[in-house]
Amino acid sequence: MISIVKKRLDDYLEFNSDLLFKDTDFLEIFGGSIRDAISGLEIHDIDILCMKNSAIKASEILESFGYKNVTDKLSMKNIQQMYKDTHIVFEPWTFMNNNLKIIQLIRPVSDMKFNNFNMNYHTKQFFDIMKQVDMSCCGVSYDGEGINENYPNAINHCRLKFYKINPNAKMYNKDRIFDRKYKLNSRGWTCIDDMTEIEYNKYIRSAKLNSL
């Protein structure tokens, strides 16, 4: 699965994703792109969580492959507002190439507080953000070596095209969740919250049998 996810990321980026992880600390590709890579769906954009120094290096790599910083020029309200409203990250730096591939570099607000004396706090805040997803299937990330599960059962949910709403997450927004549910459902996903326990267990048994 790791090799498949990497290939799908490379194909979307149009360069080797390994370059993003070289000589960088605290950088992971997370959320929808990893979800779609695992589930076999088309990737629409890539979100990268990174600290300031890694964001600068990633920006240089993107620009070397023809991406341009369009943060102030392109209105991407749905994408940027999702993170900006949470108050746990800065407004994303948005990059786009001539083929309209979209990459967002997302920095935690805790990045401003970073120094040698609060490394533990800094590390905890970085990884906590990837757990604060409003949908379980978005709780997956890729660190250049493996796929990380940041929300319980997130990988299996991606495989089965299931998702569970997480109303307690910092990224949850009740006004936006209906639109996000509609978009996922239209792509063949099923919300576990809308299923009965009998339906869910029946589907799981069927999925296990088909995998034998």
The low-confidence residues of the chain, meaning pLDDT below 50, are: 112-117, 212
pLDDT at 119: 61
Choose among 57, 55, 13, 8: nearest CA to 36.
Answer: 8
User: For residues 26-47, b (16+ Cβ closer than 10 Å) or e, as one string?
Assistant: bbbbbbbbbbbbbbebebebbb
pLDDT at 171: 87
Query: What are the Cα distances from residue 196, in Å, to 93, 191, 192, 201, 207?
Result: 41, 11, 8, 9, 17
pLDDT at 111: 53
Surface-to-core class of residue 206, CB atoms within 10 Å of its CB (0-12 exposed, 13-18 middle, 19+ buried): exposed
Query: What are the Cα distances from residue 89, in Å, to 36, 53, 129, 151?
Result: 23, 15, 9, 19
pLDDT at 175: 86
Query: What are the Cα distances from residue 132, in Å, to 135, 184, 197?
Result: 9, 18, 25
pLDDT at 126: 86
In the chain, what are the domains?
2-210 (3.30.460.10)
The pTM of the full predicted model, rounded to 2 decimals, is: 0.86
* Residues 137 and 165: beta-carbon distance below 8 Å: no
Surface-to-core class of residue 211, CB atoms within 10 Å of its CB (0-12 exposed, 13-18 middle, 19+ buried): exposed
| Alpha-carbon span 122 to 149, nearest angstrom | 20
